[in-house]
């Protein structure tokens, strides 16, 4: 069984990250999963964006949490990537769930938590995935494991994946202690001992972000469960899809 291909921020190698065109492109390529990042606006709307400011990926400046949804929707989130995407707006999570409602892939929602913390975001996210019937095809991830622990307490059957960067020893033991179903390490940390330990302990391994075709081949061959990439077409072609 080869790794599930998960499009990082959509097909972000080809369209502005975390926008509808990036998600549509990933679907067109036949992606098997989609990863996206979430923050919260001043009026409590969940929006899909990587950074806690809009500076890098829009024509505006400021913290996401200082704008209402109407205000943040005024900015252009496409031109920075390519002028052909001018006028593309920031999506809400609801808009993305609507786009994906008939798709059968895995949605990985990464909760961005720190340096800005969003009070009550875990409750809101669980309400939304229930409303759109995503409970069985979603995995929440975060570098903030406190946030994932809170989410698991609210909805024990919803899967969580622990993001991390370092070469942790036996992190599957830690994953089990939190009731996590998966580990989401930076891909440099994929070594046989980790892959085998995860398999033995029933913990899935979904490394990020693997873009080079040779590295995609290596990481797939290592026996991981999912592969998070900006280029889902490359990973699909390695699988022979």
Q: Which residues are catalytic?
A: 8, 50
Query: If binding is defined by CB under 5 A, does position 17 make contact with Mg ion?
Result: no
Q: Shortest Cβ distance from residue 93 to Mg ion (Å)?
A: 14
8 or 152: whose CB is closer to ligand G3P?
Answer: 8
72 vs 152: CA distance, rounded Å: 30
Minimum CB separation of residue 46 from Mg ion in Å reads 15
Give the Cα separation of 149 and 3 in Å (integer): 26
Please give the structure tokens belonging to residue 171. 């992190």
Binding mask 84-113 for ligand G3P (x = CB under 6 A): --------------------------x---
Alpha-carbon distance values, 129 to 61, 94, 120, 140, 214 (Å): 30, 9, 15, 11, 35
Q: Contact with ligand G3P (CB under 6 A): which of 50, 65, 137, 149?
A: 50
Site for Mg ion contains 230 (CB under 5 A): no
Whose CA is closest to 214, among 194, 234, 200, 230? 234
Helix segments in the chain, DSSP class H: 20-28, 69-72, 93-99, 121-131, 145-154, 171-178, 192-201, 213-221, 232-238
* Least Cβ distance, residue 36 to ligand G3P (angstroms): 9
* Contact pick of 32, 37, 150, 225 for Mg ion (by CB under 5 A): 37
Q: Does residue number 228 form part of the binding site for ligand G3P (CB under 6 A)?
A: yes
Q: Which residues make beta-bridge pairs with 140? A: 109, 160
Q: How far apart are CA 32 and CA 103, in angstroms?
A: 9
Measured from the CB of residue 206, what is the shortest distance to ligand G3P in angstroms?
8
User: What residues between 58 and 87 interact with ligand G3P by CB under 6 A?
Assistant: none
The answer to whether residues 22 and 15 touch, using CB atoms and an 8 Å cutoff, is: yes
Which of the listed partners (Mg ion, ligand G3P, none) does 194 bind, with a CB threshold of 5 to 8 Å by partner kind?
Answer: none
Residues at the site binding Mg ion, with contacts judged by CB under 5 A: 37, 110
């Amino acid at each position: 069984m080869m790794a599930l291909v998960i499009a990082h921020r959509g097909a972000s190698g080809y369209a502005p990250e975390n926008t509808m065109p990036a998600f549509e492109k990933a679907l067109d390529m036949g992606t098997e999963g989609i990863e996206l990042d979430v923050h919260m606006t001043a009026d409590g709307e969940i929006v899909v964006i990587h950074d806690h400011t809009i500076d890098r990926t829009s024509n505006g400046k400021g913290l996401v949490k200082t704008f209402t949804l109407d205000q943040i929707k005024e900015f252009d989130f496409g031109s920075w990537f390519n002028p052909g995407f001018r006028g593309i707006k920031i999506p809400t999570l609801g808009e993305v769930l609507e786009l994906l409602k008939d798709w059968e892939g895995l949605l990985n929602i990464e909760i961005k938590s720190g340096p800005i913390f969003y009070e009550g975001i875990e409750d809101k996210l669980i309400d939304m995935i229930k409303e759109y019937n995503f409970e069985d095809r979603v995995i929440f991830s975060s570098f903030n494991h406190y946030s994932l622990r809170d989410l698991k307490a609210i909805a024990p059957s919803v899967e969580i994946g622990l993001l991390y960067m370092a070469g942790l020893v036996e992190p599957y033991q830690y994953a089990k202690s939190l009731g996590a179903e998966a580990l989401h390490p930076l891909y440099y940390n994929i070594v046989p001992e980790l892959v085998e330990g995860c398999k033995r302990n029933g913990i899935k391994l979904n490394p990020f972000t693997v873009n080079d075709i040779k590295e995609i081949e290596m990481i797939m061959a290592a026996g991981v469960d999912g592969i998070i990439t900006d280029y889902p077409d490359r990973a699909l072609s390695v699988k022979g899809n």
